[in-house]
Amino acid sequence: MTQKINNPKILITGAGGFIGGHLVKHFKKKGFRIRAVDIKPLNEWRQLDKDLENISLDLTIKEHCDQAVKGVSEIYNLASNMGGIGFIENNKAECMLSVLINTHLLIAAHKENVERYFFSSSACVYAANKQTDPRNPQLKESDAYPAMPEDGYGWEKLFSERMCRHFTEDFGLKTRVARFHNVYGPYGSYDNGREKAPAALARKIIRAKLSKKHEVEIWGDGKQTRTFMYIDDCVKGIDLIMHSDIEKPVNLGSKELVSINQLVDIIEKIADIKLKRNYKIDAPKGVRGRSSNNALIRKQLKWEPSISLEIGMKKLYKWIEREITNKTK
């Protein structure tokens, strides 16, 4: 479905982060010329390809967005101040300020006549009252309204989705929006306070095994449910959605619903260990149940994320294990 057109230069923002770094690799393999931008200094990027045009810019500043967008034909906006549930529940204002990035990038994209614009949204836009049951019946795209998203981070994402919609309606800019459902994999955060459940639990279990203290702390009662999408499915989905005719926000997530306790079961199996589970009931834990309804993406693309949680977690576990081992040497 995806075609290269005149070897265009594309802009990937948030390129020094987890998903952005993998997306850079994906499009480099396809032969695209890439401008990679992130706020972090280059030596802090999670994956840095020195053969590309890599720039450190603060995209909350309008002039930096103008610089980043100059001469590109497609924009993939993954730049956002975010993390796992512990981060977004305690940094709502910081999360909201990401609205400046999308706003300035859209203005610059319109000014430069950019062909296509991708915005990375989140399942956090969905109404909280539709996520109270751990047997979650799957969230359809329409469930974002009436609006009651995750406070802070979710509101910023939902507002930015609307910005994309109106730039399409008013100016003809082709925008594409994907709502990510819990992306995980190597090169993500696992120990800096921004990590999500798969990486956090893998880290805890690896350290429990190394220390021979066979206990693990779990946030909440372990019965809350989620779907988790491996990074390879995520970047493929971004590419397909960007070059599709899907004009409205679309779910990008796995349909494999598991409880946090079941996620721990999977990691224990990988680690070949059984641990005592200590539940921290007062810790941040988010909504009770969230899963991705993939009917729209299946209909439009004849595709959906399919990498199993067990396969993906094996790869993540091995990567975190190497990282921790190398740090202790």
> What does the pLDDT look like over 104-122, one tens digit per residue?
999 999 999 999 999 999 9
Q: How far is CA 262 from each of CA 12, 203, 208, 266, rounded to the nearest angstrom?
A: 35, 16, 18, 6
The pLDDT tens digits for 48-92 are: 999 999 999 999 999 999 999 999 999 999 999 877 778 888 899
What structural domains and CATH numbers belong to the chain?
9-184+230-255+296-301 (3.40.50.720), 197-225+258-291+309-328 (3.90.25.10)
The yes-or-no verdict on residue 42 having pLDDT over 60 is: yes
The yes-or-no verdict on residue 3 having pLDDT over 50 is: no
Instruction: Compute the Cα dihedral for 151, 283, 260, 95 and give only its sign.
Output: positive
pTM for the structure as a whole: 0.94
Looking at residue 1, its pLDDT comes to 43
CA triplet 124, 168, 105: central angle to 5 degrees?
A: 70
Q: Enumerate the active-site residues.
A: 153
